[in-house]
Every structure is written in C-alpha cells, then in structure tokens.
C-alpha cells in the first residue's frame, strides 16, 4: 500500500530530502570548523549524521497519525472497524507502512553522507543495522503518533500537539549534541527520550564503533514499541466515534 | 435476527437515542425512517459495533452487544453514509484490499470478488479507477466490499442519499436481489419516504431519538388514516420530515460529489 502511494508521488521523496541536506550542510559544516561541541574525536558532521537521520525519520513518523485522521474523516476507519479483523492488524499494518517510508528516508541520507564524504563506517553490517534501527524508530514513533491521533481525532488538534512535541523530542536528545553538555534538567529528559536511544545505537553502528549499552538500548526500544502497539490497538476504536 | 431493546445513547447532553426497541426478522428488509438528527446513524453505528450504547441491549444472531462485538463482526456487513472507497484505486483493487483484510485466500478471493461484481452489475468497470464511477456504482462497490466475508446481516446508512433516481433504483434492485437470492437480513436508514415505501418490508419511523411507530408501510398509513407515508409522518410526529434538513442534505451531496472527482 505504502510503497504504491510513494510510487504515485515520487516528488515527495525529493522534498523530504531537502531538510536534512540543509541541516547537514549548514549546521554540520559550520560546527565542524569551529569545533565548539565535544564529539569524542570524530568530526562534528559525522557525529551529527546519525542524529539527522533519526530526526528525519522522527519527523515523518510522528505525523503518520494524520493519515488515520484523514481516513476517519472519509469514513474508511469506520468501515475497517466493522470488519471481522483484529484491531492490532490495522495498527501493525500502518506501522509497517511507516517503516517503508523510514527506510526510503534512510537511503536518501546515506546517499547524502556519501556525497558529502562524511567519515562513516561503511559495511554491509552497518547498513543492515541502520535499516533495522530505522524500522524500530519508525515503528515506535508511528505508534506514538497513532495514539495521539486516536486521542485528538481532529486534524487541527493533532497538528497542534504534534508540533508541540516534535521539537522538544528532537532537542532534548543526543541528536545534535552529546547529552553530557546539556543542562541537568534537559539531561533527565534526554535520558528517557526514546529518540536518544535511537541516536546512540546509530552512532555506535555508523560512527564510533564502540558498542556500549547497545543491547540495552535495543531492548528498551523494542519494549517501548510493544507497549506503544498495545496502547495504540486499545485506543484505535475511539476513531469510530 | 436483530433485536434492539431499550437502547439509549447520550452524547454529553444530547439524547441521540432515547430508549428505542425494535426487531428485524431473518430475511427481512427493515427501514429506519426519520429526519436529520433523528438518531438513525447512531442506531446503525451501535449495531455495527462501532460505538457502545449508553444503556440497553442489542442481540444479533444469538449474541449480545457490546460484550460479543468481536464475534458479531463476523456476521455483519456495514456500509457507512459517506462514500469512502479509494478513488485512486480501481474497483477491483478496492475489493482486493478488503478481501485480504478479512483473510480470504487467493482462490476464495477470486471467486468471491467475481461473484459480487456480477451481482452488483459493475463488471465492465472493475478495472477502472473508482473516481470515474457514478455515485450509484461507488455505492454498489461499497456494498460488495461489505459482503466479502459473507455476512448474514447487512447494515446500510442512507445508501441512496445524493444519488440520481436511476442510480437509486439500481441500488434498490441490488438490495432486493440480496434479500431474495441470498436470504440476507437488511437494515437500512433513509429519510426518503418513497424509498421506505418501495423497498422495505417493515419500517420504524424515528424522531428525536424515539421510535414513533413500527409496521409495514400499509399498516402505518392505515393507522394514521392517510393515503401516503409522507402524510402519515406528519400526522404521527406533528411536523414535516424534511424540515430543517436541507442544509445537511446539501452538504452530504456535495461531499459525495467531491469524493468522486
Ligand atoms: N459524535 C457525536 N457527538 C455529539 N453528538 C452527536 C454525535 N453523533 C450524533 N450526535 C447527535 O445525536 C443526534 C442524532 O444524530 P444521528 O447522526 O444519529 O442522526 P441521523 O438520524 O443519522 O441524522 P442524519 O439524517 O442527519 O444523518 C443529533 O442531534 C446529533 O447532533
Ligand atoms: Mg445519519
């Protein structure tokens, strides 16, 4: 389904590539020169590439619930909900759709990284690992987004809350600077922020190669996805009314 | 087949349903007739398991709502008021998605889709995009979608609203055929008097969340002592059916038209 929609409208792929390019070029190049942020011996642009990758996957996943609200307004969700199909199937189906989009985004950013000659540890394993993590990230945030959609129900309220949440999720994570240089209160948020886990895992795989806490982070992420799927499944029927 | 007893539904202050009871027998074509805001959609949504009632019970085929909702979904098919097929896909693809969702295997899918396409008389159009369909064809496609899992009961919310007379008649024919050939039990809502009269075995007239009267069109007219269902409605409720409804109606027709572009 999702792949078919993308084929219908490939321009979307292009427009979505623009933002990460700007981030990497402007932010990345500048801070690499001034060396203001302690990155543990790697160039800043390499440090932030996994951050930008996870950020762009976050942005497309977190607004994924919008499709749900759209379908609700059209009466499609109501038709689905009256079918003899387990509700979890709808949630999992959407999650996979989000994963497909996430992967397409990851491919774009990896290509960018090649073009910009970011020093990344390229190997079959690191590419597969990245794709795996991107799938997990898209799964978690699209479920989160579906939960918000089920609670908000209208486009306006959903967009409002989506915008309010996205920026803090991004800045209170280790996406563009290490947690250690944040103020204490921000560190607390960053440590429980699932986006931080994603960034840490990606950074291990793509940049540092130091696999500290990786299993723990992956485990936490999978646990959170399971919880989010269950909540999303329970809330999904609210879209009928 | 369907037994509704003392059903109430409140939306905050609004009493959408104020204690309605009725029964639909197996193989019957039953109509809920009423003006805008009468509570028709609310009733159908409760019976389709989409929203829970505030109070009261619904029995379908020996099972009870809301407790047995998951089982009941196996033998109901629901066609909502809004036209909601995907205009960017073909009719066949629309059917295929639903067939996959309800878990039919490949050969069952082919058989079921072919049979329904033939029944609905949309055979010449299945491979065209749905946005090229007329309103009547979209409606028939949606009825086909709701029938893929062979439900015993079909629930339709204003199936002919916004359709031209010819399309309306073709939808009636399909429903009649379903009733006669497949012994389907059909519950539909409408606010067209002539539709209720021409199509339904029995009717319940609803107004302000209550059922005013139940019976065959003939019985209802006799009881009211008038010649048309329209007059019966005015006698029984004390006001006209279409009163205040024109704006809503127009909005829905527009929505339908937009979907099809
Ligand atoms: N989700 C809701 N929240 C609040 N009020 C609602 C909701 N759904 C319906 N109502 C109210 O309940 C009443 C009955 O509505 P319902 O949609 O069942 O009427 P209807 O007979 O289907 O009318 P129509 O011909 O306009 O479709 C109306 O007063 C409506 O405003
Ligand atoms: Mg209605």
C-alpha B27 to ligand 2 mean position (Å) = 24
- DSSP string covering B187-212: EEEES-HHHHHHH-SEEEEEETTEEE
Tell me how far the alpha carbon of residue B61 is from its chain's centroid. 18
**Confidence class of residue B168 from pLDDT cuts 50, 70 and 90?**
very high
Q: Give the CATH fold of the B2-260 domain.
A: Rossmann fold (3.40.50)
Is beta strand B63-65 parallel, antiparallel or unpaired with respect to B76-79? unpaired
pLDDT digits (tens, 9 = 90+) for B214-260: 999 999 988 888 888 888 888 887 776 654 444 455 455 555 555 54
Where are the domains positioned within chain A? Answer: 41-240
**What pLDDT score does A210 carry?**
74
CB pairs under 8 A between A and B: 59
Where are the domains positioned within chain B? Answer: 2-260
pLDDT digits (tens, 9 = 90+) for A102-147: 998 888 888 888 888 877 888 888 899 999 999 999 999 999 999 9
ipTM of the assembly? 0.85
Q: Quick check: A155 pLDDT over 80?
A: yes
Full-model pTM: 0.83
Residues of chain B contacting A88 with CB distance shorter than 8 Å: none
Q: Between B73, B81, B259, which is nearest A82 by CB?
A: B73
Residues of chain B contacting A82 with CB distance shorter than 8 Å: 48-50, 73, 76-78, 146, 155
Q: Do A80 and B101 touch (CB under 8 A)?
A: yes
Q: Residue B233 and residue B231: Cα distance in Å, rounded?
A: 5
Q: Which are the contacts of B201, defined by CB distance < 8 A and separation ≥ 6?
A: B28, B29, B30, B216
Q: Kindly report the protein residue whose alpha carbon is nearest to atom 1 of ligand 1.
A: A241
**What pLDDT score does A167 carry?**
83
Residues of chain B contacting A96 with CB distance shorter than 8 Å: none
């Amino acid at each position: 389904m999702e792949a078919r929609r993308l084929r219908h409208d490939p321009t979307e792929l292009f427009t979505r590539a623009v933002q990460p390019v700007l981030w990497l070029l402007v932010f990345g190049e500048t801070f690499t020169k001034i060396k203001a942020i302690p990155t543990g011996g790697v160039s800043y642009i390499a440090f932030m590439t996994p951050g930008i990758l996870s950020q762009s996957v976050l942005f497309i996943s977190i607004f994924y619930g919008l499709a749900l609200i759209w379908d609700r307004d059209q009466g499609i969700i109501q038709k689905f909900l009256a079918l003899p199909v387990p509700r979890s199937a709808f949630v999992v189906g959407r999650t996979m759709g989000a994963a497909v989009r996430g992967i397409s985004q990851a491919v774009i950013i990896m290509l960018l990284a090649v073009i910009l000659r970011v020093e990344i540890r390229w190997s079959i394993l690191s590419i597969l690992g990245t794709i795996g993590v991107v799938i997990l990230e898209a799964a978690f945030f699209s479920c989160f987004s579906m939960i918000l959609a089920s609670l908000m129900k209208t486009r306006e309220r959903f967009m409002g809350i989506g915008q309010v949440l996205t920026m803090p999720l991004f800045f209170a994570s280790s996406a563009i600077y290490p947690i250690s240089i944040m103020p204490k209160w921000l560190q607390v948020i960053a440590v429980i922020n699932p986006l931080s886990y994603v960034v840490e895992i990606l950074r291990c795989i793509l940049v540092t190669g130091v696999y500290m806490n990786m299993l723990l982070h992956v485990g936490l992420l999978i646990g959170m996805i399971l919880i989010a799927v269950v909540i999303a499944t329970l809330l999904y029927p609210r879209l009928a009314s | 087949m369907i037994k509704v007893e003392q059903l109430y539904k409140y939306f905050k202050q609004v009493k959408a349903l104020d204690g309605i009871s009725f029964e639909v027998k197996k193989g019957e074509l039953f109509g809920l007739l009423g003006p805008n805001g009468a509570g028709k959609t609310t009733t159908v949504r409760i019976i389709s398991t989409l929203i829970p009632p505030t109070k009261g019970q619904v029995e379908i085929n020996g099972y009870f709502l809301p407790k047995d909702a998951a089982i009941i979904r196996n033998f109901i098919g629901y066609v909502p008021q809004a036209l909601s097929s995907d205009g960017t896909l073909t009719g066949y693809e629309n059917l295929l998605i639903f067939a996959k969702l309800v878990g039919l295997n490949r050969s069952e899918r082919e058989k079921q889709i072919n049979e329904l396409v033939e029944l609905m008389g949309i055979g010449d159009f299945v491979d065209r995009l749905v946005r090229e369909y007329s309103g009547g064809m979209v409606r028939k496609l949606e009825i086909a979608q709701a029938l893929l899992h062979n439900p015993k009961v079909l629930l339709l919310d204003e199936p002919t609203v916004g359709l031209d007379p010819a399309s309306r008649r073709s939808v009636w024919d399909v429903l009649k055929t379903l009733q006669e050939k497949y012994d389907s039990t059909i519950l539909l809502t409408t606010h067209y008097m002539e539709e209720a009269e021409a199509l339904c075995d029995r009717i319940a007239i609803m107004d302000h969340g209550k059922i005013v009267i139940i019976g065959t069109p003939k019985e209802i007219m006799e009881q009211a002592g008038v010649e048309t269902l329209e007059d019966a409605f005015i006698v029984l409720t004390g006001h006209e059916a279409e009163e205040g409804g024109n704006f809503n109606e127009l909005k829905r027709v527009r929505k339908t038209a937009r979907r099809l572009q």
